[in-house]
Chains A and B, each alone.
Chain A
């Protein structure tokens, strides 16, 4: 079955530093990946749509310069939280579809970011 891997699963960083989270589709090619953020006891919030070979599409209210997304290959998308602050502490989750035109998303296990 389709597998999406995220790395790291947990990261702690100091305020002001940048953190990169990787999302890989292990056994399929994903031209589109999605990045979500989830705060405690809240639902998933879609941040952006990552498109292979082109610029990501950000949801309203999400700062593109703050959350840099790169989708350089059909199996890898990265999210970089730049100049992280404590309010960026959250659970970041990526997802991808393994069949064009389908809504069956496979999600990664998530990356928990804690900014001190």
Chain B
């Protein structure tokens, strides 16, 4: 699986859009980008995933660059409950086993 690089921490004001970057410059053509988050002392929660097209669901949007070397997770209107560690993972579809990096600790400030 391709290595991903994320900033260790970010802050965002409540109500504003939170944009979390992820670098995956060595991603291969059959690897998807998955995003999970982990709220303190809970199990991780799936957010969204994509291959090359931008994706949107009820939780977030995922923007993948055309060369697929990086992506951005967007939480359009961050709330205090979005404070969590966000993990970006590149993995081959169907591989099942997910290896988590250090993620980005996002703090939403009132």
Contact = CB atoms under 8 A, between A and B. Distances in A.
Question: Which of B43, B44, B45, B99 has most chain A Cβ within 10 Å?
Answer: B43
Indicate the member of B94, B96, B100 with the most A CB atoms within 10 Å: B96
A43 B100 contact: yes
A107 interface: yes
A101 B93 CA distance: 7
Contacts of A110: 41-43
> Main SS of the interface on chain B?
loop
B98 A109 contact: no
B53 interface: no
A34 interface: yes
Contacts, number: 64
A102 B43 CA distance: 19
A58 B56 CA distance: 35
A32 interface: yes
Contacts of A108: 43
Closest 9 CB pairs of A and B: A107-B43, A101-B94, A44-B100, A43-B100, A107-B44, A93-B43, A110-B43, A109-B43, A108-B43
Given A101-B96, A103-B32, A108-B43, 8 more contacts: A32-B96, A44-B38, A46-B99, A49-B97, A102-B93, A106-B46, A107-B43, A107-B45
Interface of B: 32, 34, 36, 38, 41-46, 49, 85, 87, 91, 93-103
